[in-house]
Amino acid sequence: MPTSQSADTEPPPRLLRRWEIDAGDAGAVGDVRAGRRCWRVDTADGAFFLTEYAEPDRRRVLFRHGVTAALDEAGLPVLAPIPARSGRTLVTAAGRGYVLHPWVGGRGRGGLELTFGQCEALGELLGRLHAALDELTPPVQQSLLIPTPRAAAASAAVEEMLRDVPDDGDGTDFDALTGRRLRERRDLLAEFADHQPPEIEVSTVGHLHGSFHAGHLRYGGSGNVTAVLGWGSLTTGPVAGEVVRAAARLFACDDERGLDLDRVQAFVRGHRSAFPLDAGQVQSAVHREWWERLCDVAPLRHRYLGEDGSGARGPAAPAALVAWWSAQLDRTLDAFAAPYTAPDPADYAGTPGESPAFA
């Protein structure tokens, strides 16, 4: 949602009159997100969220609007776009496209803040979304060729980065840490080179949210999810892959403790209750997600060499998670596919991120 940071301009004059809202004395607070300008617009009829698309892909945007409207109508916490007076959900002005949504309140919560029951409920919500998407969208091709990253290419990239790091003792402490992290990844790539997943897998595929993580979830005072945002990433692919990616983003710690596997199990169990997937598909998706993270050296380049274009250092968590996941690969495969059993309360102190999974 927009912050107090101002966008370059206000929305075009009279634009809001295209909708059935009382915008006589509307005030707008702007922001820029993912290259798009957006505003919180306060009117006599309440608050709204206006997004501008410089060059909208009309077909893609309208398909997404149809999907989110159908999900909203089905009773899921998804915000449908507000039709303009013309009935259109994508309004054009001066060659640009505009979409209006209701403003959503609530708060964000990290996955490690959730109780085990809330983790299960969140997984069930994702499963309900997948079930509804399966029902409301056209069928997707059942056999997908998914390119698999190559360990050799990743190793070569790491070696190239190592040449840029001082190794003669004249560098900084951060240089020394960078060298250790890069050599660690090089060793992992060599150790697990024969663990590459296949490029063709039999799996349940369909339309997916595409970016299901804490930043796209809003919670009410009762702890229930009031809105699932981020539908601009709507895509297609293996359903199990989205379950694993979501769990890995929601329940990863920012240090060497890796994934909270108890919360992961609760989340996967909730999803399974609404959208059954066999254990083999889930384990295959776990294998692929781990492998892709292992071969993805861009976070290392960003974190340690600052080569993302901004000059800023990235978080250390991705590299730490890869090392932990590699050491716990079998355990992680089992945890994602195993029936969920809630931890014994006597063994759990209730501190977010601390559970028997880290013993």
Final residue of a structural domain among 73, 102, 131 = 102
Q: Domain check: are 278 and 162 in the same one?
A: yes
Please indicate, yes or no, whether residues 186 and 145 belong to a single structural domain of this protein. yes
pLDDT recorded at residue 91: 95
Based on the domain organization, do 170 and 23 belong to the same domain? no
Q: Is residue 350 part of a domain?
A: no
If asked whether residues 98 and 151 sit together in one domain, one would say no
| Long-range contact pairs involving 64-68 (C-beta distance under 8 Å, separation at least 24) | 64/231, 64/232, 64/234, 65/89, 65/90, 65/99, 67/133, 67/136, 67/137, 67/207, 67/231, 67/234, 68/231
Do 175 and 38 fall within a single domain? no
Residue 270 and residue 134 share a domain = yes
CB atoms within 10 A of CB 139: 9
- Within a domain: 2: no
Local confidence band at 350 (pLDDT 50, 70, 90 cut-offs) = very low
Q: Is 159 helix (H, G, I), strand (E, B) or coil?
A: helix
First to last CA, the chain: 38
Q: What is the pLDDT of residue 200?
A: 67
Nearest Cα to Cα of residue 113 among 359, 358, 350, 356: 350
Residue 356, domain member (yes or no): no
Mark whether 182 and 51 lie in a shared domain: no
* Phi, psi of 44, rounded to the nearest 5 degrees: -65, -20
Note whether 129 and 68 are same-domain residues. no
Residue range 44-64: average pLDDT? 92
Whole-angstrom CA distances from 273 to 166, 343, 348 are 53, 19, 25
Query: How many domains, the chain?
Result: 2
Q: Give residue 54's pLDDT.
A: 87
How far apart CA 288 and CA 286 sit, in angstroms, is: 5
DSSP state of 252: B
Report yes or no: 284 and 291 within 8 Å, Cβ to Cβ.
Answer: no
Q: Which domain holds residue 217?
A: 111-343
State the pLDDT confidence band at 352, using cuts at 50, 70 and 90. very low
pTM value?
Answer: 0.88
- As a whole number of angstroms, the distance between CA 96 and CA 303 comes to 36
* 145, pLDDT greater than 60: yes
Task: Among 83, 102, 121, identify where a domain stops.
Answer: 102
For residue range 66-97, list pLDDT tens digits in order: 999 999 999 999 999 999 999 999 999 988 99
**Residues 68, 115 within the same domain:** no
Task: Classify residue 5: in a domain, yes or no.
Answer: no
Q: Are residues 223 and 172 in the same domain?
A: yes
Q: What is the pLDDT of residue 301?
A: 87
Same domain for 127 and 162: yes
Least confident stretch, 24-38, 214-228, 266-280, 313-327: 24-38
How far is C-alpha 290 from the chain's CA centre?
16
The single residue listed with the structure tokens 């309440």 is 46
Q: What is the pLDDT of residues 98-143, one digit of tens each?
A: 999 999 989 999 999 999 999 999 999 999 999 999 999 999 876 6
